[in-house]
Structure 1
Amino acid sequence: MTPGRRSSTFTRLLRHGFTDPSAAEHLLDGPELTPVRNDPVLLEALGATADPDLALHGLVRLLEAQPDPTAHRGLLDTLIAAKPLRDRLLGVLGASAALADHLARHPRDWEALVTYEPRDLHPGVEEFERGLAEAVDPVTLRVAYRRCLLSIAARDVNGTIDVAQTAAELADLATATLRAALAIARTAAPEDAALCRLAVIAMGKCGGHELNYVSDVDVIFVGEARDGADEGKAIQAATRLASHMMRICSETTVEGSIWPVDANLRPEGRNGPLVRTLSSHLAYYQRWAKTWEFQALLKARPVAGDVELGENYMAAVSPLVWKAAERDNFVADVQKMRRRVVENIPVTEIERELKLGPGGLRDVEFAVQLLQLVHGRADASLRSGTTLDALQALATGGYVGRVDAGQLEDAYRFLRSMEHRIQLYRLRRTHLVPEEETDLRRLGRSLGLRAEPLTELTREWKRHSGVVRRLHEKLFYRPLLDAVAQLAPGEARLSPEAARERLVALGYADPAAALRHLEALASGVTRKAAIQRTLLPVLLGWFADSADPDAGLLNFRKVSDALGKTPWYLRLLRDEGAAAENLARVLSAGRLAPDLLMRAPEAVALLGDGESRGGGGGLAPRGRTHLEQEILAAVGRAPTAEQGVTAARGVRRRELFRTAAADIVDSYGTEANPAEPDQGALVDRVGGAVSDLTAATLAGTLRAVVREGWGDTLPTRFAIIGMGRFGGHELGYGSDADVLFVHEPQDGVDEREASEAANKVVSEMRRLLQIPSADPPLLIDADLRPEGKSGPLVRTLKSYEAYYRRWSLVWEAQALLRAEPVAGDADLGRRFIELIDPLRYPAEGLGDDAVREIRRLKARMESERLPRGADPKLHTKLGPGGLSDVEWTVQLYQMRHGWAEPGLRTTRTREALAAACAERLISGEDAAILDEAWVLATRVRNAVMLVRGRAGDTFPTDARELAAVGRYLGYGTGHAGDMLDAYRRTTRRARAVMEELFYGA
Structure 2
Amino acid sequence: MTTSNQYLSLQIAAGELPAALVADVEIHWQSLLERCDEQQRNWYQEFAASERRQQLLTAFSCSPALADLCVRKPAWLPSLVASQALQTGLAKDAWVEELRVLCAECENADALAKILRDFRNRHWLRIVWRDLNRLAAMEETVSDLSYLADACVEIALAYLHQQLITERGEPRSAEGTPQQLVVIAMGKLGAGELNLSSDIDLIFAYPYAGSTVGGPRSDDNQAFFIRLGQRLIKALDTRTADGFVFRVDMRLRPYGQSGPLVISFDALEEYYQEQGRDWERYALIKARCIAGNREEGQRLLAQLRPFVYRRYLDFSAIESLRDMKAMIQREVVRRQLQDNIKLGSGGIREVEFIAQCFQLIRGGQEPTLQVLQLQLVLSQLEKMAYLPAAVVDDLRSAYRFLRNVEHVVQAWRDEQTQQLPEAGTALVALSFGMGFGDDIASFQQVLAAHRQCVATHFSNVIAPPESEPDGQHLSNNRWRAMLDDLDQESVRATLEEAGFDDAAEAARLLVALLNGASVLRMQGTGRDRLYDFLPLLLEDLCEAASPASTLLRLIPLIESVLRRTAYLVLLIENPGARSRLVELCDASPWIARQLAAQPVLLDELLDARSLYSVPEKIGLADELRQRLLRIDSDDLETQMEALRHFRLAHVLKVAASEVTGGLPLMKVSDYLTYIAEVVLDAVLDIAWQHLLAKHGSPVPAGDDQRHFLILGYGKLGGLELGYSSDLDLVFLHDLPSSNVSDGDRPLDAGTFFTRLGQRIIHILTVTTRLGALYEVDMRLRPSGNSGLLVSSFTAFSEYQNTQAWTWEHQALVRVRAVAGDEKLAQKFEALRADILRKKRDILVLKDEVVKMRQKMRDHLLSTGDKNAEFDIKQGAGGIVDIEFMVQYAVLAWSQQHPPLTYYTDNIRILESLAEQGLILASDTRTLIDAYKAFRSQAHRLSLQEQKGLIAETALGTEREIVSRFWQQLMLSP
TM-score of Structure 1 vs Structure 2, range by shorter chain: 0.3 to 0.5
TM-score, structure 1 length as denominator? 0.44
TM-score, structure 2 length as denominator? 0.45
